Amino acid sequence: MVKKRIKEVKKVKRTGSQNLIGLILWITGILVSLAVGFGMIDGTLGVRFIPEVVTAIAGWIVVVLTLLGLLLAILEYFSR
Mean pLDDT, the chain cut into blocks of 10 residues (80 residues total) = 64 84 95 97 93 96 97 91
In this prediction, residue 3 carries a pLDDT of 66
Query: How many CA atoms, within 13 angstroms, populate the side-chain half-sphere of residue 26?
Result: 12
In this prediction, residue 2 carries a pLDDT of 65
Model pTM?
0.79
Residue 36 burial (CB < 10 Å; 0-12/13-18/19+)? middle
In angstroms, rounded to a whole number, what is the distance separating the alpha carbons of residues 62 and 60? 5
In this prediction, residue 10 carries a pLDDT of 65
In this prediction, residue 12 carries a pLDDT of 72
